[in-house]
């Protein structure tokens, strides 16, 4: 019997907006209805892989800063963790 590679998924906690969570659950539920064994975790891993592959570190940093600054308008509790001050290239 062949052994698995030994790689395992790691459990983590993330915080989503209500809309993001609903969309994530809808996509996973639709896949299940189509007899596809796809989970919300599969979708999140795909999104992370695409971000990693499609953006440079500097592009990702700029996009994240812009996203956080825009999101805090609708979700003011986000500001409690601190907000990025500026966009500058990483040294």
In a domain, 67, yes or no: yes
- Its pTM stands at 0.75
Please give the tally of structural domains in the chain. Answer: 1
Length of the chain: 91
- 91 vs 58, which has greater pLDDT? 58
In a domain, 87, yes or no: no
In a domain, 88, yes or no: no
What are the tens digits of pLDDT across the range 49-76?
999 999 999 999 999 999 988 888 888 8
The per-residue b/e assignment along 23-61, b for 16 or more CB within 10 angstroms, e otherwise, is ebeeebeebeeeeeeeebeebeeeeeeeeeeeeeeeeeb
Q: How high is the pLDDT of residue 2? A: 61
Domain coverage including residue 27: 18-79
What are the tens digits of pLDDT across the range 79-88?
888 888 765 4
């Amino acid at each position: 019997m062949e052994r698995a590679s030994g790689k395992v998924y790691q459990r983590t906690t993330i915080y989503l907006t209500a809309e993001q969570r609903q969309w994530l659950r809808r996509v996973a539920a639709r896949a299940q209805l189509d007899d596809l064994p796809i989970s919300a975790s599969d979708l999140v891993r795909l999104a992370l892989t695409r971000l990693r592959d499609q953006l440079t570190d500097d592009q990702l940093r700029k996009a994240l800063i812009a996203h956080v600054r825009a999101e805090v308008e609708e979700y003011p509790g986000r500001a409690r963790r601190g907000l990025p001050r500026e966009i500058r290239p990483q040294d």
